[in-house]
A and B are shown apart, each in its own frame.
Chain A
Amino acid sequence: MKNLTDAGEQDSGIRWKSSTLRNAKNSLAGIAGYLALLAMLAIMVSIFGYIIQGGATHITLKIITTNGNTTTGGILNAIIGTWLLVGTGLLFSVPPGVLGALYNVQSTSHGGIASVTRLFTDILTSVPSIVIGLFGYLILVIRLGMGFSLLAGGMALGIMMLPYVMRISEISMRNVPAEQVNNAYALGADTINVAYRIYLPQAGAGIISGILLAIGIAAGETAQLLYTAGWNNALPSGLLKSPVAYLTYVVWYGINQPSAYAHQLAFVSAFILIIMVTALIFISKFIGRKGA
């Protein structure tokens, strides 16, 4: 038999790094990683724990069923106000969001406009919310004469919800198989039919999941409402020129007051908010997953 040399055995004198050391580094990195995760979880537990404990101990039927001014009374006006604002925001974000998404998803036959609007939509999500608030104040509240109002606050929220609804709707619609759409067109369906019969039913779950996410974000917003919605010790009397109360205001304003009762109201509001937002995020995830 030919005398064969074995590359592995003769080893050509390579000095290997210590595998013990490398394994130790690896374990150390793993431990550090777990610690980082643990730290994040601990902070999260702390946030949820303090808010839920503080809210649960102070919540009373009276607080959630009477109106108040952040230092006395309840927060019913803020609870309803939040939903009124979010609802108004939906009016200004869902129809344009879904319609715009319908355009964008069929954009291959429309040219380059969709790529521009996509870029702007993404950029719009990163406009600081206080800037939207200032814009709302300057234009909606003052220039268009809406005053601090449901309409001004709702539109400001709508501006921030729109990109989420539009982009998530578009992504959901993109999952609709192209051949189905093409078949429908080949069979003589028109754009409205295709939108109504194919895109909306098939992407419906995804669209709703996007809307829920947008609601969760809007319900937790404060900065852009400070100067568009104002504050109201009762419910707004109409769409215009009548300010609106909202939960995040109670949290922010209440915790800064030197009054134990104001702190209670802040905690209860935060408690309701965190439960609402968490529920919306999980339902949105669940529906989104089911849709996909």
Chain B
Amino acid sequence: MIHLENIMETRKLSVKAGQKTILDNIDINIYRHRVNTIVGPSGGGKSTFLKCLNRLVDLDSNYHVSGDIFLEGKNIREYSEIELRRRVGMVFQRPNPFPMSVYDNVAFGLRLQGKVKQHEMDSMVKDSLREAGLFDEVNDNLNRPASTLSGGQQQRLCIARALILKPSVLMLDEPTSSLDPVAKGRIEELMIQLRERYTVILVTHDITQARKVSDHTSMLFNGKIIASGEGVDFLESSSSDAMKAFLGDATV
């Protein structure tokens, strides 16, 4: 039996947009140094769930959040947004490099948040690029515009940009859905490496991806968690129609 330690947990987390319920009473544990995967069909509330964890959801005044979320045992409302977002990094579905050089992209968060000398900055930017598996590909010229990188490289750049803040938790929202199979494979390998030093939360609608990387999986369907457990295989034995339909779609 592996010892599981919660780094984050949600209790009775619900999100409403007007009359519409997007998330309904979600209780989830996020385990330290694991790849925690949320699977489910599109529109099931997966992205909203992630946005609750770093309070990005607060940007949209139409969304009303209730319930509690804890990070390291402390309610996330007790952290400043600044600190919460430093500790809980996020990478989005489509790579979103800023219109600046590779170096400046990675350094962005640290310039914003940290008091760091230039030589320290240089080495931290390089470390983050190494951790994101991008260093060797861009080392010859860190000053090239980020937009000249390929899609897969851009996404790894976004991961490096998040890692430089040394987050405890790294959230990946469908990180490979806009990438080709090779780039996708590289990011999947990367996720497995990253859990050595970070806690990973992956949101995906791709059950095959979940099979490759997930340590702990929850199925989110119509705003509700309908199954949750170790690995992925337990999902297959589920008798729920929703689950069968989803798995059927995904495996075709």
Contacts and interface: CB of A to CB of B under 8 A. Distances in A.
A and B touch in the complex (CB under 8 A): yes
Interface of A: 1, 4-9, 11-12, 14-17, 19-20, 22-23
Contact of A16 (B2, B114, B124): B114
B110 A6 contact: no
Contacts of A17: 112-115
A14 B3 contact: no
A15 B115 contact: yes
Contact of A19 (B2, B83, B124, B168): B83
5 contacts: A7-B197, A8-B166, A8-B169, A11-B166, A14-B166
Tell me which of B110, B167, B168 has the highest count of chain A C-beta atoms within 10 A of its own C-beta.
Answer: B168
A14 B124 CA distance: 10
B35 to A, nearest CB: 13
Interface in B1-55: 2-3, 32-33
B80 A7 contact: no
Interface in B63-119: 80, 82-83, 86-87, 110, 112-116
B198 interface: yes
A169 B112 CA distance: 45
Contacts of B137: none
B196 interface: yes
A6 B114 CA distance: 19
A8 B115 contact: no
B80 A8 contact: no
Contacts of B3: 1
B212 to A, nearest CB: 20
B115 A5 contact: no
A9 B198 CA distance: 10
Contacts of A11: 166
Interface residues of B, number: 24
A16 B166 contact: no
A22 B82 CA distance: 9
Given A6-B197, A8-B169, 13 more contacts: A6-B168, A7-B163, A7-B166, A7-B168, A8-B168, A9-B168, A14-B116, A14-B166, A15-B114, A15-B116, A16-B115, A17-B113, A19-B82
Contacts of B116: 14-15
A7 B198 CA distance: 6
Interface in B177-225: 196-198
B33 A14 contact: no
Contacts of A9: 168
Contacts of A20: 80
Contacts of A19: 80, 82-83
Contact of B2 (A1, A8, A15): A1
Tell me which of A8, A19, A23 has the highest count of chain B C-beta atoms within 10 A of its own C-beta.
Answer: A8
Contacts of B169: 8
Contacts of A8: 87, 166-169, 198
A14 B121 CA distance: 10
Contacts of A23: 80, 82
A16 B198 CA distance: 19
Contacts of B2: 1
B82 A14 contact: no
A228 B90 CA distance: 64
A215 to B, nearest CB: 37
Nearest to A20: B80
Nearest to A22: B82
A6 B83 CA distance: 17
Contacts of B168: 6-9
Nearest to B166: A7
A16 B113 CA distance: 6
Nearest to B115: A15
Contact of B196 (A1, A4, A14, A16): A4
A44 B240 CA distance: 62
Contacts of A15: 114-116
B80 A6 contact: no
